Chain A
């Protein structure tokens, strides 16, 4: 905690104005989310009596939270991150996990809980279930975090040769689905009573109790699983196929190879596809209308694949001693890097998008919107990862994610204000979309180049 607090103090000292703005945003965000909750309730008041809609309201945030939980577990720094001297000391693995997660968890709670709680309470208050059901919705979203983390632990265990643990997590997942099926919404498992609570069909306290107990049990399970992870397999020393050779395209290939061979980027890409397919399946199960499955699948996939864009800046800045000295200048590195980040980010989304379009259909407008979001998301991911490099450590990565979220929100507001005016002035939608995407990509290349060339890092 002290280390993280000192890092935070150092960051605030370096950039006091952005830090003050962020603090102000954190304080004011719950107010904005109360308005959002009321607005959402107004939109959904008539449709809430439909089971699918109520369950969908729980599924959306829960799925996003599960993805975040899985990413969290995958990025969790292990015992050696405490430093060789401390990590060899005789203390339990649970203590080590708590030590590396307590500060990020507190920071996450400080940032997310007030806004999530405010929105859920406002939403629930305007629905038949009342404010209590809003609390249950918050609880369900939070409970999905350790659920995703536990799923990731099963995955990690299977990658590291721990079949018993994988089977255990698989059985738990089956039990989850069975409980959910009994309660009426299989994907939500024990959280399935939250949807009926929002409709007022189930007492809110019952749903809140179920989600709280589930969340607590899952969090404790994850803690034990994370503390007893099988050791990572030794790095393979088999020969690597030579991909960087010759002069033409060497920089693009090298950046692509550096990112593609990183385990966190690979994990993000595979997770993106898995969660995207899960999102697609959930939308299909909920019998959502045509573009919903496509939108849910692709945007969920983007949550995982954006890791490639976020990692790009840090990967290049780590090799700044070479890239920045290239005679042709850092721009010759930054442009291909943005292109690689775009390809790496969009590939899993395209995969999921094609599957979703084939399985559930997609409209041209929704495809265009998703393409725009992916291109802009990749570019803004590069910007965020260049300004706050994605480096090992939950605290540092949380900061990068916060920067990404802040930049994305800022750009969304800007585009939200400017784009409708351009369209009403007669500019065609595709042209406006292309302009926004091109601007984001150009900004990413400029920011990355400047970060590489800045001499006094």
Chain B
């Protein structure tokens, strides 16, 4: 993993040569024993997780396994009942941690009346000034093919295009920690490719990326590490290749089924549904 320097707000600044040997950079995200309960249901059950600067970590798991809860907790939108979360060394929720976090939500609600350009401008205005942010936004806008839609309101765009606009706004901050919820949901294949390349490029300049996804092909091709969540707990983790070898299967889908103890799901369901 690369070690990146950072500016006053903790923003990654790869390529700037350090004047002297810097201390080891803190993890982009460090989650220790995080618990979150909703009534009697544990959404997070003692999750430990680390996202190093320069790493892309994928959260994979069935619906309701706690992926979004973990992302929201890391973003400071949700308090955990126990455990701790630190972003670039700062406690989640602090000004430093907020400065160091960018979020691409599953559904970027609440800004339907703003145009794509206005939404990006608002995100840039809310975060500390960064002279390079506008340039990155222009580059990302062009990469996603949104140049012709900059003055179109988010509410008039399809959900996939809204998510692309939201991704441009968040990724252009180049924060030390980038959180992406349901990374590829509703995105067209081209946008999935652009998103994958964008997070890879940002990771290369020192950003840590934590993304939740159901797209196991995307996770396998983009993530340095895949974390399998089930009922709020980490049931397995590792590099995609290592996971395939460990479970002696050929796809991450089979890794997930194997880790869930449901390897025979296909045959079972095929038999059950034959009466349809």
Residues of chain A having any CB pair with chain B under 8 Å = 235-237, 239-247, 250-251, 254, 257-262, 315-329, 455-456
Contact = CB atoms under 8 A, between A and B. Distances in A.
A456 B79 contact: yes
A323 B114 CA distance: 14
B125 interface: yes
B235 to A, nearest CB: 26
Interface hub of A240, A247, A318 (most chain B Cβ within 10 A): A240
Contact of B110 (A241, A321, A327, A328): A321
A326 B77 CA distance: 11
B107 to A, nearest CB: 9
B121 A236 contact: no
A251 B122 contact: yes
A326 B98 contact: yes
A326 B126 contact: yes
16 contacts: A235-B155, A240-B118, A240-B153, A244-B119, A245-B117, A245-B121, A246-B121, A247-B124, A250-B121, A251-B126, A254-B125, A258-B110, A258-B113, A327-B98, A327-B99, A455-B78
Interface in B113-172: 113-115, 117-119, 121-129, 151-153, 155-156
A251 B76 contact: no
Nearest to A319: B110
Interface of B: 9, 75-79, 93, 95, 98-99, 101, 103, 105, 108-111, 113-115, 117-119, 121-129, 151-153, 155-156
B156 A251 contact: no
A251 B110 CA distance: 14
A9 to B, nearest CB: 16
A242 B110 contact: no
Contact of A322 (B126, B129, B153): B126
A456 B127 CA distance: 23
A322 B95 contact: no
A-B pairs, 7 with minimum CB distance: A319-B110, A250-B125, A318-B110, A239-B151, A261-B113, A244-B118, A327-B98
Contacts of B117: 242, 245
A258 B114 contact: yes
A181 B9 CA distance: 71
Contact of A321 (B79, B103, B122, B153): B103
Contacts of A322: 103, 108, 110-111, 122-123, 126
A218 B49 CA distance: 63
A258 B127 CA distance: 19
Contacts of A456: 78-79
A328 B129 CA distance: 12
Contact of A244 (B9, B101, B121, B129): B121
Contacts of B108: 321-322
Contacts of A329: 95
A320 B78 CA distance: 11
Contacts of B93: 455
Contacts of B129: 247
A246 B156 CA distance: 24
Nearest to A245: B121
Contacts of B109: 318-319, 321
B161 to A, nearest CB: 11
Given A326-B126, A329-B95, A455-B79, A320 B110 contact: yes
Nearest to A333: B126
Given A242-B115, A318-B110, A321-B110, 5 more contacts: A241-B151, A246-B125, A247-B124, A320-B110, A327-B99
Nearest to A263: B113
Contacts of B76: 324-325, 455
A246 B120 CA distance: 10
Contact of B114 (A251, A257, A325): A257
A375 B113 CA distance: 26
A257 B78 CA distance: 28
Contact of A327 (B118, B126, B151, B155): B126
Nearest to A241: B151
A433 B79 CA distance: 40
A359 B63 CA distance: 64
A261 B154 CA distance: 12
Given A236-B156, A240-B151, A254 B122 contact: yes
A325 B98 contact: yes
A187 to B, nearest CB: 36
A133 to B, nearest CB: 49
A455 B74 CA distance: 12
A241 B156 CA distance: 15
Contacts of A257: 113-114, 118
B125 A247 contact: yes
Given A327-B98, A327-B99, A237 B110 contact: no
B160 to A, nearest CB: 16
A322 B101 CA distance: 11
B44 to A, nearest CB: 13
A250 B103 CA distance: 20
A319 B114 CA distance: 12
B185 to A, nearest CB: 15
